[in-house]
Structures are given as C-alpha cells and as structure tokens.
Amino acid sequence: MRKNSTDRLMTLDFWRMCVANLLLFTSVYMLFPVLSFVMPERLGISVPRLGGMFLVFAAAMFAAGPFHAYLCDEYKRKNVLLYSILVMLAAMSGYAFADSYVKLLLLALVQGMCFGLATTAGITVAIDITPSARRSAGNMIYAWSARMGMLVGAGTGFLLYHLYGFRTVVYAAVAAGVLGMYFVSRVYVAFRAPIGLNLCSLDRFLLPRAWVPALNMLLIAFVPGIMLPLLYVGDYISFMALAVLVLLTIPFTRMFVKLSHHCQRGTANTTCYLAMETGLLAGLATACRLADVFLLYHAAGVAALLALFFFVLLTYPYYKRKRVR
C-alpha cells in the first residue's frame, strides 16, 4: 500500500492534486468569458438577460456548500470530488446543445453546484494528503494552482474560440476536466471513519471571522469579472486584470489562513475561493447588464478604488486585530 511521506510536502500525490486543480479551473474558465458573448447570439436573447446565468451559477455554489462536510464525512472524499467533476462536465457539455434560456439556467445551476462541491472536496483531499506541519504551505501551493488555471483557461478558451469556434471550446474544456479526473483517480487517500456530521452545516465551508477580507476579495475579483467579456473585442487589458487578481489572491489566501485556527485552514481556503468566484461572477453578470465598453471601464475603475480604500481602512486593520497565527 502506498503511503505519503510524513515529512515531505512535495509528494507525487500532492502534485497530482495540484495538477488536477489547475485543470479543473482551466476547464471552467475556458467557458466563462466565451459564454458571455456567444450564448445571446445562439439563443436569440439579450445580453443583459444572460447575466442571470452567472448569478444562478454563484447562488448554486453556495446552495451546495452546506452539504459538503456531510458528503465528505459520509462518503469517500475522493469519490465526492470525482463524481462532482463528472456531473459538472456533463452539464458543461450541454452548453454546446442548449437551445433555450431555461435550459441554459438549468445547466448553470448544475454546473455551479458541482463546481462548488468539487472545489471544497478538492481542498479537503489536498489537506488530507498533506503532513500536518506543512498544511499552511500546502494550502498556498494548492491555491496557486487554481489561480494559474484561471489564467490558462481564459486565454486558451479565447484562442480556441477564434480559431475553431464555440463547440471546440466546450469539447476542450470537457477534455481538460476529464484529464483532471484522471490525476485525482491516481491519488491515494487514507480511509477515515465517518464521525457523524449533520446533513447541513456551514462547518468546513465558510469562515465567519474572515468576512471582512472576504468582502474585500469580492470587490477585487469584481474588476476582472466585469472586464472579461472585453476579450471578445481583443481588449487584453481584461486579461491583465485577471493576472493581477491571480497575484493578489496569494497574499489574501495567506491572510485568510492566518485568521483561522489550526483545524480551519481548509475552511479558510474555501472561503477565499468562494469570495473570489462570487466577485468574478457578479462582475460578469454586471458586464452583461451594462453591455457598453465605456461603462464597463468606468464600473471597473470605481470597483478598484473601492477595493483599495476597503483594504486600507477596514481589511488590514481588522486582520491585524483578529489574526491568530
């Protein structure tokens, strides 16, 4: 039986989980920017109306979250991760064939719920295979793999769309997810007996004491979110804004972890993920609502200034008072 080293972080299983996480986010972010300007034309709906899809996705992530702790306790954590990705990929493949707005919303609902479960279950598995003394460092590296997946996915999706069309982007996104499932399947996770958690619980899902930096992260992520659809018109500043978000999430992840107690590092990482994803999705929904380049830049600038002032006046003082590490 294979076992992870008790003193090394960079084990083969840990790297497999990092690669799987990168591929999971690559898969999702291949489609996010493309859907915002492709689906209105394919379905014959207005661009502002499409914004509802991203809000449904965001709400679905939170709807599934309270059941995460129970599922990971009652069933094998790796299986929860694998099946969540599998159902998510099935929903994503449906985008290539969606022919009505209702079906689009249903696909976004299923994808959002499964993506929320997959990200939280992935963090749980990554922590399980990381030595206790190295879990803070493991959290940072695992988080970094997701952020890199966002960049790779957005850039690859935009390129594939212009070269080969929308369906190729969908198929490539699904293929990336399937490859991620392969890497997860190769990870050894030691058995843990169930401890009898409640069916619905916020434990291991949200870190209440990190609510101030979570709001700040939401504001920061809103900026690249509202600018992502501009990739369609060849505006690469939006891609640069996403790269800035990737860089900023690293110190923010450290901040979330330092606000958590010893057994809450995974919850801290999950809370940071959710705040970032919510900000991006809210930005995409707002971009669809505004549908004007000048207004998008104006809204992004206002959000960036608000995020800066929020950090200086609220987040950093709060962090200095509440940190436990």
State percent of the chain over pLDDT 70.
Answer: 89
Question: Angle at which helices 12-43 and 135-164 pack, to 10 degrees?
Answer: 40
pLDDT, position 234 = 72
| Global pTM exceeds 0.75 | yes
- The pLDDT assigned to 270 comes to 83
Q: 197 in a domain, yes or no?
A: no
Integer CA distances (angstroms), 324 to 67, 243, 259, 271, 312, in order: 27, 30, 6, 17, 20
Q: Confidence band (pLDDT; 50, 70, 90) for 300?
A: very high
Number of domains in the chain: 1
Angstrom CA distances, 325 to 136, 258, 260, 262, 319, stand at 11, 5, 8, 9, 11
Give me the phi and psi of 75, to 5 degrees please.
-120, 165
Residue 38 lies in a domain: yes
Give the pLDDT mean for 209-234: 89
Residue 4 domain-assigned? Answer: no
Structure tokens at 147: 């952020």
Residue 230 belongs to a domain: yes
Tell me: pLDDT of 301 over 90: yes
Tens digit of each residue's pLDDT (9 = 90 or more) over 282-298: 999 999 888 788 899 99
114-141 burial: b if 16+ Cβ within 10 Å, else e: bbbbbbbbbbbbbbbbbbeebbbebbeb
User: Predicted confidence band at 3 (pLDDT cuts at 50, 70, 90)?
Assistant: very low
Asked, for residue 193, whether it belongs to a domain, the answer is: no
The 8-class DSSP code of residue 132 comes to: G
Closest C-alpha to 138, from 153, 119, 123, 148: 123
pLDDT of 201 reads 65
Among left, alpha and beta (phi > 0; psi -120 to 50; other), residue 188 is beta
Could you tell me if residue 82 is inside a domain? yes
**75 assigned to some structural domain:** yes
Residue 212's pLDDT is: 94
CATH number at residue 162: 1.20.1250.20
Would residue 5 count as lying in a domain?
no
pLDDT value at residue 200: 65
| Average pLDDT value over all residues in the chain | 86
More confident residue, 173 or 63: 173
- Residue 48 tokens read as 């502002």
Q: Inform me whether the pLDDT recorded for 264 exceeds 80.
A: no
What's the domain range around 114?
12-188+203-322
Give tens-digit pLDDT for 66-107: 776 667 667 778 888 999 999 999 999 999 998 899 999 999
Mean pLDDT of the 48-62 span: 89
List, for residues 170-197, the tens digit of each pLDDT value: 999 999 999 999 999 998 877 665 555 6
